[in-house]
Amino acid sequence: MSAPQRMDVPVVLQVYNEGSTYKHARLKFRLKEVIPKCYESIMEEIGSSQPGVLVFNKLLDRAEGTIAGAVPNFLIHSSIQKEIILPPHYHISLDDFQIYPHSEENKLRKQLDRLKQLRNDGQKTSILPIGHKGAGKSNLMRNLVNRCFSNGYDSVYVLDCDIGQSEFTPNGCLSLTKVTAPILDKPYGHQKTTFDNCYFYGDITVRNKDLYMDIFERLFNKFKIISKPGAICIVNSMGWVVDIGAEILDGITRVIEPDLFVEIYRDQAEARYDFKEVNQDHVVEIFANNSSGVVGVQAQKRLPAPLIRDLTIAGYFSSQLPRPSLASFASVVPFKLKFNNLTIAVPVDLLVEDNHIFSSINTQLMALCIKMPELETRKLCGRQDMPSISVYDEKSPALQCIGFGIIRGISLEKRCLYVVTPVNLLKLDEPPVLVRGMRIQTPSMFFTADPYNRCPYVLNLPEQKTTAELHMNGLYQPSVNTTQFKRSRKV
């Protein structure tokens, strides 16, 4: 099998109970062509029964195709000798893989059976998986979602509060998502293009705990309102279990009162979460280091967190690409937003002078948020034909996010701004607020993917500057992507 790096489930099998006699006869004929030496022994085993057939199709969706083209060696072949490049053949190898140790697996199944009984009684339940960074908490969360579907749940929600590595949105958001199918890929493969219940926190680390918990509580209350009896909510928490991370987990516990805690860890010496005032009978601890891997296949190195965030953003915009390649991003038709109806929000830490605002947001990834009356604004440079500017800080209200966009270009002559986004802005009653985040930027792969160095980001320079515009020279200075931010635990 060939599968993306670090994937636990490389293929999906579909089983059909019956097939035509003609098709089986054709398969027998082809089988004789492929393996003439073994044909007779195989047919003897089959006898008069119809053989079971596995048909593998090499299917790569647009998001995976985009990522595979942007990241070298992204598709890892199952062959042990990886230096040999093979054609797209399929191989079956001995697999002794166990997701979790046997004893912990039994405990987890018993707890899920208990929740299943609560579901049958019409009770809404919640699960809080936690774990230190790198312990496998995100994979655990996906595994729990899939187990819920296996147990007959038809109303499964994920409350995603991991702002550093979000599951269904680009990073910097807290969201509530109803999951309708098993999760078989990484976040880049199942990004939602528009968000119904999502708030833009604006950073990849918690600097304002009160705002974070306020958004979390809003989303959990939303779950209780919109979900039907017997629904389950699985919380995707951050990989942070000590210091402020522990305080946040304490707050989450008080809000949702989880029916099940699942803690995963890989090192006996690493920091663990201290379960306070929690029924220990509802806690399952998984020491994942006891898991056995695939025989003969070396474990792959983990993708670094900054790269995961970049891939998630690339996966989010992949639905807009004319072909599965970031090099085609320059061909995407942008939306045009007029200055006089536009509001731009920037964090106080990234505030610049008015004549440099456009330079600071050009080429940047921006959250598209719903305009709120509580958001204080003023006109850029005091001019009515310019956008409104808002500076948000710790006292600013939580902004509901409907999607993300990348600033494609700015035209001062036409007084408009161009945005590439999967969100259909034509269906909105009013333009969204463009909000810039901290440590949330356009991945560098968007700038380097085109082999011909065609830059998709432009600033239209006026042929002649008027006197009133001479002081706005900074508007025409293009921004340069100069750094890769890393997530920080420091506050």
R_g of the chain computed on alpha carbons: 26
Note the pLDDT of residue 463: 54
Cα separation, 237 vs 252, in Å, equals 9
Per-residue model confidence as pLDDT tens digits over 74-98: 665 444 444 444 444 444 433 344 5
Cα separation, 196 vs 136, in Å, equals 28
* Cβ 130 vs Cβ 249: under 8 Å: yes
Note the pLDDT of residue 491: 36
Looking at the DSSP assignment, which residues form a beta bridge with residue 178? 157
Residue where the block lists tokens 């006996």: 268
* Cβ 84 vs Cβ 340: under 8 Å: no
Cα separation, 366 vs 363, in Å, equals 9
Helix (H) or strand (E) holding 42: helix 39-46
Within 10 angstroms of residue 267's Cβ, the number of other Cβ atoms is 13
Strands (E), 137-258: 156-160, 173-179, 198-200, 232-236
Return all residues near 295 (Cβ < 8 A) that are at least 6 apart: 93, 94, 95, 96
* Cβ 419 vs Cβ 406: under 8 Å: yes
* DSSP letter, residue 189: G
- Beta strands 343-347 and 335-338 are unpaired
Cα separation, 290 vs 266, in Å, equals 8
User: Alpha carbon 394 to chain centroid distance?
Assistant: 26
Q: Which of 247, 246, 249, 268 is nearest to 257 (CA)?
A: 249
Q: Which residues of the chain have pLDDT under 70?
A: 1-19, 34, 50-59, 73-99, 269, 289-302, 451-491
> Which domains are seen in the chain, by residue range?
1-93+303-321 (no CATH), 102-290 (3.40.50.300), 333-476 (2.40.30.330)
Cα separation, 23 vs 9, in Å, equals 29
Note the pLDDT of residue 171: 95
Note the pLDDT of residue 294: 41
The CA-atom distances, in angstroms, between 345 and each of 218, 386, 425 are 22, 14, 18
Cα separation, 64 vs 284, in Å, equals 34
> Please, is 236 exposed, middle or buried when counting C-beta atoms within 10 Å of its C-beta (0-12, 13-18, 19+)?
buried
Within 10 angstroms of residue 50's Cβ, the number of other Cβ atoms is 12
- Beta strands 433-436 and 2-4 are unpaired
